Chains A and B, each alone.
Chain A
Amino acid sequence: MTPLAETFRDDWGRVLAALIGLLGDFDLAEEAAQEAFAVAAERWPRDGVPSNPRSWLVTTARNRAIDRIRRERTLAEKTRQLTPPAVAHDETDEMDATRFPDERLELIFTCCHPALATEAQVALTLRTLGGLGTAEIARAFLVPEPTMAQRLVRAKRKIKAAGIPFRVPADHLLPDRLAAVLAVVYLIFNAGYSAPADNELTREALRLGRALAELMPDEPEIHGLLALMLLHDARRAARVDGGALVLLADQDPSRWDRRQIAAGRAALERALALRGNGPYVVQAAIASLHAELPRDWPQIAALYGELARLTGSPVVELSRAVAVAEADGPAAGLAIAEKVPLDGYHYLHATRGELLRRLDRVEQARDAYRRALELVHDDAERRLLERRLAAL
């Protein structure tokens, strides 16, 4: 990786956040940041990388933006909305980094504002903080590029027109707003995780999780989410074998990433030390128990019970049924699964099929697997179900 590409990945979000803070305009900031990165791509290989690349980028971009505003102002006297910041015009590389506060938090809370649709929040977060291209985001979410471009344009327009603030919300709004931010990060992670071939999104989600943990170190749910993502991602390599999905129970633990599991557990411990007991912390605790052999199924079942209470989610209740089946036998698990109101969900029927098989109720197991096959969309999951059905 060239130094520029490295800076781009690590610093795009910080540079852009600082520019939006300075200029008060998403589009202007984005164009200026792109220009500055282009100048860097041309100059740095020739003249060397400046001592503080990030400050150089912010300064260069800001100066370009001011030039642009001045130009446009002379062209049309009407441009009155923007007041250029009164600063000296020098493209020096001796900038003091502390002159540009880290405004990534302000940026992520703006991008994840509940006045924007969830898909717009996700796209904007990936574009501004992650520096992903519109085409890349469109591909990740299986929508045509013009649709994604339009989504981004509309979101940025609304931020400006509706007066969505560029700041960290006040304390009394923070719990709800932080939950929205974490939901977006987890959505990005899951979008990447369900596509084994492309993990750009999971990498980006982990990057965002780490940044949030660093910027708001006292929020247990942030550490909980980071732990959860690290623990899931640690099992990525073991999750797919020759294009087929491998269930957790059949995974080869030697293919788990031990270092990442340790990092996940450290984040979980931090969350617990902060007395965290929210949904992400509980999920991380479950993921941590899953990474320990032999598994402590009674404890896992109890934590799923707690999570079901917190979220009221029938999907969680289904996971509890699986854990109870391991702890207390398939009949106990099946009794819970049969009450889960998710008839259109293939996992419910796959789970019922497996538990019925263990109870030697082969005919009913077959019916359940067939129902699951009717409902499944993912190819890897389909192959797994077909293998299970054939083995009956």
Chain B
Amino acid sequence: MKYMLLIHHGADTASGNEAWEAMSEEEQREVYAAWQAVNETPGLTPGVRMADPENATTVRVQDGRTLTTDGPFVELKEAIGGYCFFECDDLDAAIEMAARIPSARNGGAVEVRPIVEQ
């Protein structure tokens, strides 16, 4: 099975995040180390790094007109902050992988979405 892991950041987004700033250097190092371990796991393909959702622009087309709004489609704190792909046997393995992503334990969440095989 192949899964896309959609990451909703918790306290571990780096820039201007109060909860991140409140972490000790030691805790921040642990987050980096956990990310590195995740990215080095066999079967995992890291996504490209996304800028903060504050910088997002949401686009809709109505009656042929392109409408844009500032910010992400969902609430700022619900926006997707990153993603990766994981190939493994089944959902149990994907859930274990998702649980190792620091965002899952720092107030964020990881959505495990199966990818449709062609």
Do A and B interact? yes
A interface residues, Cβ below 8 angstroms from B:
113, 115, 161-165, 169-170, 173
Once bound together, how far apart are the Cα atoms of A206 and B7, in whole Å?
A: 42
Q: Which of the residues A113, A162, A173 comes within 8 Å of B114, measured between beta carbons?
A: A162
Report 10 cross-chain contacts, Cβ distance below 8 Å, ordered by A residue.
Answer: A113-B91, A161-B114, A162-B114, A163-B1, A163-B89, A163-B90, A163-B91, A163-B114, A165-B89, A165-B91
When distances are taken between beta carbons in the complex, the residues of chain A under 8 Å from B90 are 163-165
Interface residues of B, dominant DSSP: mixed
The interface residues of chain A lying within 8 Å CB-to-CB of B116 are 161
The reply on B75 being an interface residue by CB < 8 A is no
Q: Mark B1-22, 1 if CB is under 8 A from A, else 0.
A: 1010000000000000000000
| Cβ distance B97 to chain A, nearest Cβ, rounded Å | 13
Q: Give every chain B residue within 8 A of A163 (Cβ-Cβ).
A: 1, 3, 89-91, 94, 114
Give the A-binding residues of B (Cβ under 8 A): 1, 3, 89-92, 94-95, 112, 114, 116
- Other A-B contacts than A115-B95, A163-B3, A163-B90, 19 sampled, CB-CB below 8 A, are A113-B91, A115-B91, A161-B114, A161-B116, A162-B91, A162-B112, A162-B114, A163-B1, A163-B91, A163-B94, A163-B114, A164-B90, A165-B89, A165-B90, A165-B91, A165-B92, A169-B92, A170-B92, A173-B92
Q: For residue B1, which residues in chain A have a CB less than 8 angstroms away from its CB?
A: 163
The prevalent SS among residues of A at the interface is: loop
A173 to B93, CA, bound (A): 11
A169 to B89, CA, bound (A): 13
Q: With A and B bound together, what is the CA distance between A38 and B95 in angstroms? A: 40
Write the chain B residue with the least CB distance to A170: B92
Contacts of B95 in A (CB 8 A): 115
Q: CB-CB < 8 A to A165: which residues of B? A: 89-92
Q: Write the nearest CB–CB distance from B85 to chain A, whole angstroms.
A: 14
Return the 9 tightest CB-CB contacts between A and B, nearest first.
A165-B90, A163-B1, A163-B90, A163-B91, A164-B91, A162-B114, A162-B91, A161-B114, A165-B92
A162 to B111, CA, bound (A): 12
Question: Closest CB-CB distance, A167 to chain B, in whole Å?
Answer: 8
Q: How far is the CA of A170 from the CA of B92 in the complex (A)?
A: 9
Give B2's nearest chain A residue, CB to CB. Answer: A163
User: Min CB distance, A124 to chain B, in Å?
Assistant: 15
Residue of A nearest to B3 (CB): A163
Shortest B4–chain A CB gap in Å is 12
Expressed in whole angstroms, the Cα–Cα distance for A169 and B92 within the complex equals: 8
